[in-house]
Structure 1
């Protein structure tokens, strides 16, 4: 039997991702699956009849390196965290991989400052695989084999992300950072609005001067950038709301609601839980709460966007010329602008 080289720590809720990542590991490191201990994969986990906890400890001790897929479900599993703690203590080669929507903040308390990478950052993940190979003194596979393995994994990742186990709670560090980011976005928006008001006042003063050519030139210079700055500012605020309300799918429903279009989120899907938790959506009445801070902020930002097209007649035609949506009553405009 091949010696265990890598202990792959994971949550069983992420089994599709685990299988794909295990394939990437074996191909990119030029090792067999037998060299990877993975408790959820048939033939690579605990032998039937053995004590599971003891076996986990033994394998963590036997392995030359620990690789942890730190997903939302992983962070909420007491056993996963215990497994991680044991593996971290017993092994010197530790390679944490953060799985979105988790952020690096979740590692601060859990991993005591150990540097890791995000699973969707291809360049960083490639470097991590090379680091694992060097740490274990493994002969590198042919460049084409590793590149093809990484390409196949990256291609499958968007679909794999959909299968990742969802968290039932938001990590306090992520929640606090999201609130801080939202506050910063609002402050930046307010500062930009003030700059725009100053610029408009400047133009009004210029229009009272006698040099018509100078006035026209200055006004044109401001008008060329004004509408794009205003649009970007308002869209930035809307984009910033996505992380606070639970993601782009929730934000899309909120926009549909404010557009007066049907908006019926699936209450059986975890993505709506955040909106219910912060009182943006009422699950009992199945209605959006327009008095919530988030709905008010979204409504105000959407009104700012509409005002851009009212105040700048060339804005819509310019977007149309660029091949972009320009009608604010069309959900596809918001999908394109916000990236939903």
Structure 2
């Protein structure tokens, strides 16, 4: 008796030109959702596509009808393939659960006409991709994979992502929306440049007038104002170093790590999924219930927080500047870091 095949849960819409990415993503999807590859229809993968001898178009239509969800990898090759766009249109019309994924170097601007109001995510946005998995699992009423399996699936995919990204071709045509936006940005940049040049000429005239007056105090004050470094730029740069840690540990763990380095109590919830990654990469030891200060992530955070402190020491106007903007200015207060890094 012939074994009955598993019903298709997900129709993975893609371009055949992206087969390496598709193979890696399909494996990631199956692991992270706790389903088998048989539950995913993928026309480019052996055993998961159209059977030999079958009419390709009819088979695609049948699987689109059967599937409970459509996941589309919207790469440059996908957007320039008439068949892919026709396949997407048919799947979109037949299915209520639609999950578009924008594949870099594509951007959301390119997708405006294609997504038709459906909210999509970028493939290289780990946090958004995690939420997408939860949305798919909820829509299909799938039993959740264990936290460890889900974390390993995500880790393995993003470990392979740099190499996969190199294999994705760039678009051969420029989308009209992108072209229009580029022209608008260029016009705005030119206006800003003209305004800056006008301000510069006024400043030069002001300094020249002060020098002609030979008033040492006034000249010194103006010169000092022009020599002052841009503390906001320096602060953003220092905070940027810390923000690079966030994708690795997550915002909740980062907040707890900062509390630890501030010498304040932190209370990680070991029963919550957000601590799984911190434990897995040895940032936190669940047995001793302590933070590992020798971990790469904790060292990077310590270095980043020191750079922020240096910015405060080197710029005497930074405190008054933050006060005037109604922002926190005490680096010993966790609320300063919450505000600056967006971690709550």
**Residue 122, structure 1, aligned to residue 111, structure 2:** no
Separation of aligned partners in 1, 2:193 and 2:127: 33
Q: What is the CA distance between 1:109 and its match in structure 2? A: 2.1
1:111-260 equivalence runs, <5 A: 111-225=115-229
Separation of aligned partners in 2, 1:189 and 1:149: 47
Aligned length: 228
**Residue 52, structure 1, aligned to residue 56, structure 2:** yes
**Residue 7, structure 1, aligned to residue 20, structure 2:** no
Q: Tell me whether 88-97 or 119-128 shows the greater mean CA deviation.
A: 119-128
Closer/same/farther in 2, CA of residues 223 and 201 from structure 1, 3 Å limit: farther
Separation of aligned partners in 2, 1:20 and 1:201: 62
Q: What is the CA distance between 1:146 and its match in structure 2? A: 1.4
**Residue 93, structure 1, aligned to residue 97, structure 2:** yes
Q: Is the 8 A contact 2:123 2:129 kept in 1?
A: yes
Closer/same/farther in 2, CA of residues 158 and 191 from structure 1, 3 Å limit: farther
Q: Is the 8 A contact 1:199 1:222 kept in 2?
A: no
Unaligned runs of 5+ in 2: 234-344
Which residue of structure 1 aligns with residue 27 of structure 2? 23
Give the TM-score normalised by the residue count of structure 1: 0.63
Q: What is the CA distance between 1:87 and its match in structure 2? A: 0.5
Separation of aligned partners in 1, 2:194 and 2:160: 41
Q: Is the 8 A contact 1:26 1:32 kept in 2?
A: yes
Q: Is the 8 A contact 1:103 1:174 kept in 2?
A: no
**Residue number among 65, 68, 74 corresponding to 1:64 in the alignment:** 68
Give the TM-score normalised by the residue count of structure 2: 0.62
Q: What is the CA distance between 1:225 and its match in structure 2? A: 4.0
Q: What is the CA distance between 1:195 and its match in structure 2? A: 2.2
Equivalent position SS for 2:70: strand
**CA distances 1:11-47 after superposition (whole Å, capped 9, x unpaired):** 0111111111111111111111111110001111111
Equivalent position SS for 1:96: strand
Closer/same/farther in 2, CA of residues 34 and 108 from structure 1, 3 Å limit: same
Separation of aligned partners in 2, 1:181 and 1:154: 32
Q: What is the CA distance between 1:151 and its match in structure 2? A: 2.1
Separation of aligned partners in 1, 2:29 and 2:63: 18
**CA distances 1:259-299 after superposition (whole Å, capped 9, x unpaired):** xxxxxxxxxxxxxxxxxxxxxxxxxxxxxxxxxxxxxxxxx
Equivalent position SS for 2:71: strand
Which residue of structure 2 aligns with residue 254 of structure 1? none
Separation of aligned partners in 2, 1:65 and 1:138: 12
**CA distances 1:131-177 after superposition (whole Å, capped 9, x unpaired):** 11111111111122212221222222222121113322111111211
Equivalent position SS for 2:228: helix
Separation of aligned partners in 2, 1:193 and 1:225: 19
Consecutive aligned runs of 4 or more in structure 1 exceeding 4 Å deviation: none
Q: Is the 8 A contact 2:105 2:170 kept in 1?
A: no
